[in-house]
Amino acid sequence: MLNRLLHAVTLFATVLLVAGCSQFVGDNRHNVPLNKAVADRLAEIGSSPTEPMMIRVFKQSSELEVWKRTNSGRYALLKTYPICKWSGALGPKIQEGDYQSPEGFYDVTPALMNPKSAYWLSFNVGFPNKFDQAWGRTGTNLMVHGDCQSVGCFAMTDEGIKELYALVRESFRGGNRSVQLQLLPFRMNDTNMAAHASSPHAPFWANLKQGTDAFDDTLQPPAWDVCERRYVFNRTQPGGVPLDPNGPCPVGSLSTMAAL
């Protein structure tokens, strides 16, 4: 009888221990505070955790940049993270199962955050967006996550996703409704554009460059929308009515674009 009682007590203690570890690993990892180095860097650029933020991803160099709004009202580069792995080649994602990581302009919202990810932590990039849908592109569960494994996603190190997830989380806690995510093939400078001028994706990349140029000129994330199956930036209709992705663009919309 004594042995059974000791066994029961041991089993109960083990269950409590496992449950405690599970709660920390599975339930609290998404609430880990920003580390001091990131907090100090935010203060250095004149920003804070709750200020709006923007993310830029560059496939070719496997880099992810975090930009934060500063006291000046303009955005400054907070930190550049190495991307551990992304899949496919330079160019947009076309269909489910093509193993391509997407390209384009996306908005991460609180609903896209995944604190229970099997890849430590993750957030969905929002693919397919209006542009992707207008072109009939398909794909699901395209994420930025940890664990350094990718099948169409952007995989960070676990340490990297801890910081990145916390930065996005704190921005939402500041009342910001979204984080702009620019998924780009490479740094959109004239040298790289010329080097890839013969690519079948060159017209698409020229369209993306209009958005990145708008940010570079103003250090403000451009408002993006889709009409005539192309991105337009900082163009709105009266009353802020969303554009029809297959309809005509407003007068004065940036650029013309060939079929992709």
Active centre residues (catalytic): 145, 153
Q: Would you call 235 exposed, middle or buried from its count of C-beta atoms within 10 A (0-12, 13-18, 19+)?
A: middle
258 contacts: CB under 8 Å, gap ≥ 6: 203
DSSP state at residue 146: S
Pairing of strands 63-69, 53-58: antiparallel
Peptide bond into 128 cis (omega under 30): yes
| Whole-angstrom distance, CA of residue 18 vs CA of residue 188 | 49
The owner of tokens 């740094």 is 187
